[in-house]
Amino acid sequence: MTEKTIGVVAGVGPFAGLDLLRKIAEQTAAGRDQDHLTVLSVSRPSTIPDRTEYLLGRVAENPAYALAAQVQLLAQMGAQVVGIPCNTAHAPPIWEVMLAELETAACHVQLLHMIEEVGRFLHEHYPQVERVGVLSTTGTYQAQVYPQVLGGLGFTAVTPTLAMQESLIHPAIYHPQHGIKACGFATKRARQDLLTGIAALQEQGAEAVVLGCTEMPLAVTEKQIGNLPIIDATLVLARALVREGGGKVRPM
Q: Which residues are catalytic?
A: 86, 213
Residue 190 region by backbone torsions, left for phi larger than 0, else alpha for psi between -120 and 50, else beta: alpha
**Backbone phi, then psi, for 105, in 5-degree steps?**
-85, 0
Task: Count Cα neighbours of 233 within 13 Å in the Cβ-side half-sphere.
Answer: 31
Q: Is residue 138 classed exposed, middle or buried when 0-12, 13-18 and 19+ CB atoms within 10 A define those classes?
A: buried
**Alpha helix segments (H runs only) across the chain:** 14-26, 51-55, 64-77, 92-104, 114-125, 138-143, 145-152, 162-164, 170-174, 180-183, 188-203, 233-244
Cα–Cα distance, 240 to 103 (Å, whole number): 23
Sheet arrangement for strand 228-232: 156-158, 131-135, 208-211, 228-232, 224-225
Element (H, E) at 42: strand 39-42
